[in-house]
Amino acid sequence: MDNSVATVTEAELTAPIQGHDHFLADLAKSLSGGRMHHAWLLTGPVGIGKASMARLVAAWLLSEQARPGAPGGMDSTKITIDASDSGASLVLKGAHPDYKLISPLAEDNRSGQIKIDQIRELLPFMMHKPARGGWRVAVIDSMDVVNRNGANALLKLLEEPPEQALIFLIASQIGHLPPTIRSRCRLVRMTRLAPEACLMALRRIWPDADTGQLDILVKLSQGAPGQAVQLADSGAADLYQVVCALLQSSPLDRPALASACAKWGRGTAAGRNLRVGAIFCVDRLLRHAALRASDVRADHLCDFEMPVIERLASNHTAAQLARFHDAFVTKAAQAEGLYLDFARFLERHLTKIFDKTLP
């Protein structure tokens, strides 16, 4: 899923939707010109707000002011949500009869995939006339976790779209989508937020949070507030700091590392966000260590990362660190896909990169 800013407060709904202005302008222009495309493919890095943006746009489209014959109609030059609007409120609560969100089921779903039955259920929903006389809007979050069979089931809807129906597809790995899906959608490429904008988004979510902790999350997420939320809420960010402290000490406290990895690599569906966070953080650590070994100094590193990156760069060549990185990413995907002992996998790889390879 694109875990972008998942909670929208009532205060936020009184202001115009912020960010990704090119998409909002394109959408408003299409609507005002009567040439609304039936399928929009929102792509870009994980956590930058693709799914949240689609959800807010759905709330705008299904608001009472947007209904045919509503007094004043809709001003399609800007997208603003009124917190008191019953239609918008129902969308944001997931209770609007003309809105459907397709995302991975939480229960008994260790793979984290969207099941083909969920895609099949979308077809009759979109074919029905809108219950409240406006649009029917669906969001699939995300196509990254829809398998080939699910994508094929979706094709019928994309090939023969019903009237007054819109679908927003979320994808971070657009190259994995079948060409038949991509060619039937209007592509919208979204980018990361600037650090200041990312900090502002996190401050709206956690108004009382420590500034230092927010700064760490901004740097770790690299302009993706949804990624920051996932790292914080899962506990992955805290465990990353623990592991970095262990990897810069000598000798390596192996029992402490094993304990940290047992928490970070917890199995079952409930631990999926922790495992995803572990992959994200170790991937980041090895990439920056390889860059440092090549005499490239990266910006926006956290203070706790710098000593361990310096240590790794002094103990290994850039080529060795690049090989460590490639092996970790490849084997992490295998460990997750085959339901292997992820905690033990993490422990082995972190111990390996700790050991010195330079003479």
178 assigned to some structural domain:
yes
Q: Are residues 62 and 153 in the same domain?
A: yes
Condensed to tens digits (0 to 9), the pLDDT of residues 93-145 reads: 899 999 999 999 876 666 778 989 999 999 999 999 998 888 999 999 999 99
Q: Are 101 and 139 in contact (CB under 8 A)?
A: yes
220 assigned to some structural domain:
no
Predicted pLDDT of residue 19: 60
Predicted pLDDT of residue 12: 44
DSSP state of 38: S
Distance CA 289, CA 321 (A): 7
Report the domain count for the chain. 2
Domain hosting residue 253, numbered range: 235-354
Task: Flag the least confident range among 26-35, 169-178, 240-249, 325-334.
Answer: 26-35
Predicted pLDDT of residue 67: 61
* pLDDT of 83 higher than 80: no
Predicted pLDDT of residue 21: 79
Beta bridge partners of 166: 137
Q: Are residues 27 and 167 in the same domain?
A: yes
Condensed to tens digits (0 to 9), the pLDDT of residues 226-243 reads: 999 999 999 999 999 999
Q: Are residues 263 and 345 in the same domain?
A: yes
Among all chains, which residue has been given the structure tokens 């990169």? 353
* pLDDT of 169 higher than 60: yes
Instruction: Please enumerate, as own/partner, the contacts of 115-123 that have beta carbons within 8 Å and a separation of 24 or more.
Output: 115/150, 116/147, 116/149, 116/150, 116/153, 118/150, 119/146, 119/150, 119/153, 119/154, 120/153, 122/154, 122/157, 123/153, 123/156, 123/157
Predicted TM-score of the model (pTM)? 0.80
Q: Are residues 153 and 290 in the same domain?
A: no
207 assigned to some structural domain:
no
316 assigned to some structural domain:
yes
Pairwise pLDDT comparison (92 vs 140), residue with the higher score: 140
CA distances from 339 to 276, 351, 352 (A): 13, 21, 22
Distance CA 283, CA 191 (A): 20
The CATH code of the domain that includes 22 is: 3.40.50.300
Q: Are residues 180 and 52 in the same domain?
A: yes
* pLDDT of 256 higher than 50: yes
198 assigned to some structural domain:
no
